[in-house]
Each structure stands twice: as C-alpha cells, then as structure tokens.
Amino acid sequence: MPAISITFTLNGSPVTVEVDPAARLLDTLRYQLALTGTKEGCGEGECGACTVYLDGLPVNSCLIPTYQVRAHRVETVESLDPSALEPFERCGATQCGACTPGVVMTAWWIHEHPELLGTHTIRELMAGNLCRCTGYDGIIDSVEEAMGERGRGKREG
Amino acid sequence: MNILLPASVPEALDQLANDATALPMAGGTDLLVHWPVRGEAHERTYVDLSRLDSLKPLRWTADELMLGGLTTYWDVIRDARASEEFPLLVDAARQVGAIQIQARGTWAGNIVNASPAADGVPVLMAYDAVVVLESRRGREEVPLDRFYSGYKQMKRRPDQLVVGIRIPRRRYTYQVFEKVGARRAQAIAKVGLAVTRSGAGWRVVAASVAPTIRRCPAVERLLETGAAPEGPDDLLPTLAQDVAPIDDIRSSAHYRTRVMARVLYHDLSDFWGKGA
C-alpha cells in the first residue's frame, strides 16, 4: 500500500509527513521527525516509556498508527519546559533514566489537571509508567512536590 | 497490509461488506500489539474507524445509557453520571491497563476482542448490556450474555460493525466488581467477577474461568433462594456447574476455582448475613 500523507499539529506547529500505513507514531516521531525524547521500552503498551499527548491525553505512541493522528494534536516530551524535570532530580527519581521521558509526560499531565486528584491517586494515574529501577516512591514524591508548586509554566510557543 | 479510511458509517459498512476478512479498528490497543512492525507482515485489510465522529459520544436517555462504538474507557471514567448509576463500569475501566490504554481503548473493542479475561465485558454483562450491530443488511441487537458462542467465537458477522452498546437504567440494590491479577494496574485478570442485583434479578458474571466471559446461572439461582453457604468451599459444587477454568501462564485451574469461590463468598457476605 502506498504512503499516506497526513498533516497534524506537533508541539504547537503543523507538520506534514508521508508515512507507511503500518508506521507507528513512536517511529515517525523518532526517525522521521527527529524527536528522540520519546523512547521505546516494551513496544506493546505496558511500560509507558513512549508516552505522548494525543489531543491532551497521555497515550502510548507505540500503539498508535501514525495515520490516526491526522488532523489531531500531538505533544511530545520536547514540548515541556526543562523545569518539569527538576522535582524528579531533587527527589532522586531519575535513576537509569529509561522511563523518565514517559514518566515526566504523565506527571505533567497530572500537574495540569489537579481536578483528577478528586477521584484518583497519583499512584493510580502513574500506573502506566513502569520504572525498571523500581523507583516508584521517588517518582510519586516528585509528582507530589510538583503539585505543591503549581504555576510554573510550560515553555511558550 | 491495507488500511481503509472511511469518512462515514455507511462507507465503513460498504467496506466491511466488500471484504469478509477486513477487520474494523478503533483505538488499536489490541491490534497494534500484533502490528506488522512487531509481528509478521500480513495481508489483512483494516477498516479504520477513527474518523467516524458519530460513534464517539456516550448518550443518556430516559431509560438507558448508550455507549458509542468508539466510546473509550476514559470517556466513561470522566462521566459523573456513570459513576453514580453504573459504578461498576467505572471500577472496571479504571482497572484496564492505565490512563494510556484507557484513553484509547474502547468498550466495543473490548467486546469484539472477545478475550475470556476482558475487564469491560463482565460489568457490561452484569448490567444486561445489548450489543448494537449494523451492516448494509440492517441493524441487529444481541444481548451481550448471548453474544459469545465459544473461545473467540461471537455472533458478530464479518460485515457487521458494533455501533453502540445499550445499557438499561435500573435501580441496583447490589453491585460489585472484583479483578484478581498479579498487580493492581497493567495486569490481565486471573479471575474476574461482576455481580449485580436489581428488579430483574441477580446477575453473576465470571471472567477468566471459561472459554468466554459468561453468566453463572447456577450461582444466580442459589442467590435467588437466599440460602447462605457455610463457607467458600460450599460454593464449589455450584460454581462447578457454571465455570470451566484452565491452567495457563497466568494461573492454574485449581487456583482460579478456589479464588472465585472465596471472592464470591466474601463479596456477598453481607447479603448472606455473614458479617464483613
């Protein structure tokens, strides 16, 4: 089957790419668009290392065919201000770092939606991001700390 | 591999009618695990539903909740009325993977994936959900408890698309969902149980203990009598009429049967007057 041409909004700007119908969003981001912050861990939707936002919700980019994001909005870890990482560094929650890009994406989503904590715990919301160093308490502490200092902004533009 | 991208439901139904091997695709959380990038290249045609916006919303009417063919777990988790009226839908949805899966996975996809360990199907079945199928030949409605005929076998014909799931609104006096897995999140059920009681009677639905998700009519009859078992083991003969668990990588038949009996006994201890 021939390539499909799609346009979508990536980190705030429109992009157009020609993709194989079987291409996964994860691979398109990394190998066609050079956004290598998004990592592949398990490749089957278990570990969350490849977490990006699709229309504002965290999703596993390894489970999304790229053509499905046509006309939608995608944000990757490159869209976050580096300060989003600081609570993780302070709490010692960046151990080997393999899970960190995905962890930070889910954590920032929680940070931007404090209303979720009316029904969910941070631990439940973070359950889709596995840490192979098992540094979960540090990760939860980091999100709690970040929630305590809400108001520091996402990078402009 | 071939992808068709219909812009409307009638167009999708035409495509399904023209190719009996074509597979509808919604959020892709099951299908991408076997995608050509990871698995072997294959010649299958997928009818991608992602542009069919009319199938996305859930709708409340006076007497039912209608999930769309593309309604996701997260759509239900964030619906305040669903938490009030159908708490088991929300309980089960919150135990499907985690947010990354809940945001993409659909209830209809959970039904047609037909896993005996599905999380969404038991609670839908315990609420007497009806699967709404559409094809060029017309509309058909199949009660979910009669939808499966064997392992991965179901009443959906290849030209039919699940366009909705109807759930009658009733007053429930009892409702519980239990999932026993290796871990609270991101786990596949070793044993699942959904129980409801309404004016329509008891519904007891078991997961991961038979080739399909299924109701447990013998247990339902026992509950209708009100007769209290002395302990979990008393439930084993009744359960044996309803379930047929197997040994597999996730658990053993023996463990599943014992756990099902214990979960059932303890969940219903108040009803049976056994205290907490």
Tell whether B101 is within 8 A of chain A (Cβ). Answer: yes
Task: Indicate whether this model's pTM tops 0.90.
Answer: yes
Report how many helices (DSSP H) and strands (DSSP E) chain A contains, helices first. 5, 5
What is the span of the domain harbouring residue B22?
A: 1-48
The first and second tokens of residue B130, run together, are 């009806």
Q: Do B103 and A4 touch (CB under 8 A)?
A: no
Domain boundary among the residues B33, B48, B63 is at: B48
Pairing of the two strands B2-4 and B172-180: unpaired
The first and second tokens of residue A145, run together, are 């700390």
Is A127 within 8 Å of B185 (Cβ atoms)? yes
Tell whether B23 is within 8 A of chain A (Cβ). Answer: no
Distance CA B173, CA B9 (A): 38
Give chain A's length.
157
B146-156 as b/e: b if 16+ CB within 10 A: ebbeeeeebeb
Which class in CATH covers the domain with range A80-148? mainly alpha
| DSSP, res A154 | P
Count structural domains, chain B: 2
pLDDT digits (tens, 9 = 90+) for A26-58: 999 999 999 999 999 999 999 999 999 999 999
Half-sphere exposure of B74 (CA within 13 A, CB side): 17
Q: Point out the least confidently predicted range of A140-144, B214-218, B254-258.
A: B254-258
B233 lies in some domain? yes
From B50, which residue of chain A is nearest by alpha-carbon distance? Answer: A68
- Whichever domain contains B260, its CATH number is 3.30.390.50
B178 lies in some domain? yes
Q: Tell me, what amino acid is at B155?
A: K
Quickly list DSSP for B52-76: -GGGS--EE-SSEEEEETT-BHHHH
CA distances from B273 to A49, A128, B267 (A): 48, 39, 11
Is B108 within 8 Å of B67 (Cβ atoms)? yes
| DSSP, res B248 | -
Nearest to A84 by CA among A113, A106, A60, A58: A106
Question: Which value does ipTM take for this structure?
Answer: 0.93
CA distance B26 to chain A (A): 10
- Whichever domain contains B22, its CATH number is 3.30.43
pLDDT at A150: 60
Q: A6: helix, coil or strand?
A: strand
Q: Do A21 and B1 touch (CB under 8 A)?
A: yes
Picking from A47, A59, A103, A139 by the largest number of B CB atoms within 10 A of its own CB, the best residue to mutate is A59
Is B226 within 8 Å of B273 (Cβ atoms)? no
The domain ranges of chain A are 4-77, 80-148
pLDDT digits (tens, 9 = 90+) for A59-75: 999 999 999 999 999 99
B102 lies in some domain? no
Q: Do B32 and A62 touch (CB under 8 A)?
A: yes
Q: Point out the least confidently predicted range of A2-6, A15-19, B206-210.
A: B206-210
Nearest to B124 by CA among B60, B52, B184, B73: B73
Most confident of A15-19, A150-154, B242-246: A15-19
Q: Which of residues 150-209 of B touch A (CB under 8 A)?
A: 184-186
Q: How confident is the model at residue A155 (pLDDT cuts 50, 70, 90)?
A: very low
Instruction: Indicate the fold that domain A4-77 takes in CATH.
Output: Ubiquitin-like (UB roll) (3.10.20)
Q: Do A58 and B103 touch (CB under 8 A)?
A: yes
Nearest to B231 by CA among B264, B185, B257, B186: B264
What is the Cα B117 distance to its own chain's centre? 9
